[in-house]
Structure 1
Amino acid sequence: MSATLPALPTLEGRRLVVVGAGSRMGRTLAARASSAGAELILAGPDTRKLKATADELPGTPTILALDLADEDSVAAFAGQAGAFDHLVSTAAMPANGPVAELELAAVQRAFAAKVTGPLLLAKHLAGQMREGGSFTFFSGVAAWRPAPGRVVMATTNGALAFLVEALAVELAPLRVNAVSPGIVDSGAWDGMGDGKEAFLRQIADRNPARRVGTPDDVVQAVLLTLTNPYITGTVLHVDGGGRLA
């Protein structure tokens, strides 16, 4: 007689904070989470973008301003958000370019998005996360494949990978994870114009998966970190094997 398998987890009745919900990745996550039954809090610095996301969703998500570079903003957000189950931050503020040309303010913004911001979120919000809750942050393949002009990107993403391990230990039994996307056609490369297609084809030819990623590829991984209670302190690579190529 075969054992009865547990039902696949959903987000029904769960309250999910999406930081960076104005981005294409954030919108995709919000849509999938809403379809899975989650109640949403959309957060980010530009409430106009958050409203655009909210307008695409069923129901009435909560919209709250949040600046990860400002601790007062994080504290105010915590006071408004109330109790919740999961938080996902897709935030990124790249500071790319040769080391000799880097500007300190841009570097600080990059660290705020990936390192100090997540620390502040943990500081101010862990206490109001419900039992079984989790944080999921976005790292990135640059930490495992550094390249000229990407020193800050590699460093911030790498620091975040270690941060989730440390937070997973300190905040236990709350769970803390990271998702590390590779090259994803999320709109970030649209500025390349006619060169975009050739660039993405080159990446696809090199990747073991022989393609580039989509926002939905990444969101599926995020949903796994939210709903699997045995995943913590982990970086889940969603890069088509790009870090190995």
Structure 2
Amino acid sequence: MSERTALVVGGTSGIGLATARRLHAQGAAVHVVGRSKERLEALAVSDPELVGHRADGGDREQIAEVLRTVGTLDWLVVALSGAEGAGPFAELDLVALRGAFEAKFWGQLTTVQAALPHLTEDGSITLVTAISARTALPGTAGLAAVNGALESMIRPLAVELAPRRVNAVSPGLVATPWWDGLPQEAREAYFAHAAAQLPVRRIADAEDVAETVALAATNRNLTGTVLESDGGLHLITLN
């Protein structure tokens, strides 16, 4: 394939980093945006072929500056996330939930708006959401609201921004740093319990989801779609 240019925002760890590596393996020149100086320094050592940029996805001017450096863009992947917004609804911290919207919903939209002038006519936008938007797991109403808001925009944006393609990938349980706030023993026990109930009988890793994200970004016949890369979580009720 002729070289394409990809930008992965939220790409210094987890699904974002795995996606950046996969797109580079497919022949793209890949730029990665992250907020953490330490992670970007580590990226420069572990993945020198990826071009790192320090910026906040929720800051339009910072993202615009990155895009002025990148120039023309073929594939935009937005993997911005956050750890807030989960918990039983009766005790849900609404200030924290507003923070979750700021980090993920507004961060992703800000990035996409800033990128539009740089996106080629046959380019693509791929958002990374979460299966909480389409399941009924207790304690995830806040997460469902954030991710559902993003997913509800995919179909109208695919029509409005055509011929550029717009998709989302909706992961389920994935062994990434998102779970680092849970003690290791408790995390391993929960993953084992959940894996036994999932149709695929395993917890995904970041590379599993990155394969789906890369497909959404590069396949010229996919648009207006939310791809569920969740091991069948949307089919069951965890108990």
Q: Give me the whole-angstrom Cα distance separating, in 2, the residues matched to 1:45 and 1:82.
A: 20
Cα pair 1:69 1:109 within 8 Å, conserved? no
2:63 partner amino acid: V
Distance 1:194 1:223 in 2: 32
Q: Percent identity?
A: 37
Q: In the alignment, does 2:60 pair up with 1:71?
A: yes
Q: Which residue of 1 aligns with 2:215?
A: 224
Unmatched runs of 5 consecutive residues or more in structure 2: none
Tell me, yes or no, if the aligned pair for 1:20 and 1:89 is still in contact at 8 Å. Answer: yes
Q: 2:137 maps to which residue?
A: 147
Structure-2 separation of matches of 1:75 and 1:121: 8
Aligned residue type for 2:111: L
> C-alpha deviations, 1:36-79, integer Å up to 9, x for none?
221111102223312322322243x3322222333333333333
Change (3 A) 1:58 1:50: closer
1:49 alignment partner, one of 39, 51, 56 = 39
Tell me, yes or no, if structure 1 residue 203 matches structure 2 residue 194: yes
Mapped to 2, the partners of 1:114 and 1:231 lie a distance apart of: 23
- Give the counterpart of 2:115 among 125, 131, 134: 125
1:238 Cα deviation (Å)? 0.5
Cα distance between partner residues in 1 of 2:120 and 2:94: 37
Deviations along 1:201-236, one digit per CA (max 9) or x if unpaired, are: 211111111211111110110111122101011000
Report the secondary structure of 1:231's partner residue: coil
Count of aligned positions: 234
Q: Is the 8 A contact 2:6 2:76 kept in 1?
A: yes
Contact 2:11–2:34, Cα closer than 8 Å, also in 1 = yes
Q: Provide the rounded CA distance (Å) in 2 between the counterparts of 1:69 and 1:226.
A: 21
Distance 1:146 1:80, change over 3 A: farther
Match 1:193 to one of 175, 184, 200: 184
User: After the TM superposition, which segments of 4 or more aligned residues of structure 1 sit over 4 Å from their partners?
Assistant: 100-105
Between the aligned partners of 2:218 and 2:37, the Cα distance in structure 1 is 28
Tell me the equivalent position of 1:62. 51
